[in-house]
Structure formats: structure tokens, C-alpha cells
Amino acid sequence: MVDLRSDTVTRPTPGMREAMAAAEVGDDVFGDDPSVNALEEHVAALFGHEAALFAPTGTMANQIALQLLVPPGGELLAGADAHVVTYELGGAAVLGGISSRTWPSDGAALDVDRIADMIRPAGFPSVPTAAIAVEQTHNLGGGGVIPLATLRDLRAVADERGVALHCDGARIWHAHVADGVPLAGYGALFDTLAVCLSKGLGAPVGSLVVGSRERIARARVIRKRMGGGMRQAGLLAAAGRYALDHHLQRLAEDHTRARRLAEGLAPLGVVDPARVRTNLVPLDLTKAPLDATELAAEAARRGVLIAAMLPRLARLVVHLDVDDDGIDEAISVLSVLLS
């Protein structure tokens, strides 16, 4: 099987397994797991923030961050296709009592002026806007990268209007490699970030909330309340640290293979290779003979797994378990089905 459903399907490498087996552990709920503590300090430093908190999932990391920034009854602004409002099962409303409002999404293309116009000040009877969330890279935007200049403009608006800025940075590592922006450069623009170790980097599990020391102290309480307090989590933290040390720069290989995959499928009219910047290859099936569900089913029968995201949108994700032969096989199978 060539598994292109997601970059979460990777399996730990032999070196990662060795690092996990050798990890020094303690009880993280008591704050004395040295491997977890070291990972948190390392990731906080990478983004130029004071502290970080290890969480089991990216959704939990996002939801913790949103609760740090938006009080119950407050409002979050995000893109209509943002993960925090599309793929987290209403967590902001259910868990945090957060109201959300969205702008029409165009992937990584942000209209900062439009977002600014959406911000509501405090005052009866409107719901005051407390925070803005953006996604870097953008999942349903085909792995698009928000330009640094755009994020700086958005930061200026947030400062002027007194609202916080959150980054769903599940794949921010890809943006860092694609555009060469230092991680601390991104970190300086956001009040909180949620960064994932199991997407792209190849760790089996784990994300981190990044922010100020005061916010992360509060985040630890929220994590426990949500059932995310883990014990000897150093085994998992060791996998994440190994991924950061060994798999970060190799993401460029995934980007190269993704572009080759896009170029191989471009003659079928389902993808524009120029828009493939990172490891995600979106297939626009508007004019294709199969819809996304049909394509995924037929491709699976031929040994290629892909994700049906919307009725006419499929997604291919390149990761460290997909080599050049896998790319060739995917091009061959999908070309037959889409011809």
C-alpha cells in the first residue's frame, strides 16, 4: 500500500524507537518527567516563548490555547475552513463556551482588512471578539503557507484592536522549511501556538501548546480538566524530541516529492503544481469522472490510499514513509482512474 491519506500514518523509525526505549521518565502530572520537561523547554525556546505544555493531541492543544485566550461567552474569529471550527467537533463551544464567527476561506490567502472589519468591541449586546486564529500551513488550502508579511499585518491589527492571536501550527514546520522563516519569527507574532509532532515529523503522538509562563501554568490546569494529564509520558516526549532533531529538515524531501506528484497529475487538470508548496497535494475533482469518495475507494482497491475531504476535493499527503517508488505508483494508479 502507498498510504497518502495523511502524514499522521507514519510509523516510528528504528532510531525513534531506540530513543523511546532509552527515555528517562517520571510522573508528568507531578511535573517531574525529565524527558517531557526537556521537550517543553526545547520547543518553547524554538519559538522564542517562555514555556510550552505537552498534550496528547493537536485538537486538545488547540482547544487549550483557545480557552487561554477567549473567556466563556467571548468570540473567536477564524477562516471558514479552519481546523479549529471544522474538524474539532465544536470543541470551542462545548468545552470553552466560545462563540465563533468565520470569514470566507481562501486557504492561506488572508484579507487582513476584512478580518479587521469583523472585530467587535466589547459592549452590549454584541459578543466581543477576544481572539483570531489562523492555520499555518493551511490544511484545506492544500498546505498553503501564509506569507510572513501578511502575518505581521494581522499582528498589527490584533495589537491595535486589543485581541489575541493564535496559530494552529500543526504543520508550521513545513512553513518554516518552505519559506525559510525562523520558528522564532513565527513565534514572535502569536500569543499562543499549537504545534504537532505527529504530522510530518513522524512522532507517534503528541502536540504542544506554546505561550507565556503564566498562560502555560493555566494551560496545565485545563489539560488536566480535559483528561490530558499523562504519567510517564517521557516515552512519547522522547519520540517527539527525536523527530525534531532528525526529521525537521528532511521535510524538504517531502515537499519535492509532493511537487513531483502534482506535476505527474497536472495533465489531468486536477491540480496546479505551482500551488503545491509543501507536502499536501489537493485534487480538484470538479470536472473529474469520479467524486472524492469514489476515487478514494477505487484507488484503495489498487493499493493507493488517499483522503476524501469534500465531495469534489481529495487530498494526497507525502510523508517520510513515502519514497520515490510510492510517488510513481500513485501517479500511475490515479492517472488511470482520472483519465
Residues in the chain, overall count: 339
What was the pLDDT predicted at 130? 98
Q: Where does the pLDDT of residue 254 fall: very low under 50, low under 70, confident under 90, or very high at 90 and above?
A: very high
Average pLDDT over residues 33-61: 98
Rounded to 5 degrees, φ, ψ at 211 are 180, -160
Segment (H or E) for 115: helix 112-118
> Which pLDDT tens digit goes with each residue over 88-122?
999 999 999 999 999 998 889 999 999 999 999 98
Question: Residue 324, SS3?
Answer: helix
pTM: 0.96
- Scan for cell 497529475, then name that residue: 265
- Element spanning 258, H or E: helix 251-265
Give the tens place of pLDDT for each residue, 307-335: 999 999 999 999 999 999 999 999 999 99
Q: Assess contact for 87 and 309: CB atoms under 8 A.
A: no
Kind of pairing, strands 207-211 and 192-196? antiparallel
Looking at domain 14-247, its CATH class is alpha beta
pLDDT at 125: 83
Neighbours of 172 (CB within 10 A): 26
What pLDDT does 124 receive? 73
The domain defined by 250-338 carries CATH number 3.90.1150.10: yes
Cell 517520571, residue located: 26
Query: Where exactly are the structural domains of the chain?
Result: 14-247, 250-338
- Cα–Cα distance between 26 and 31 in angstroms, integer? 8
Give the tens place of pLDDT for each residue, 6-27: 999 999 999 999 999 999 999 9
CA distances from 335 to 11, 254, 300 (A): 28, 21, 14
Whole-number pLDDT of residue 300: 98
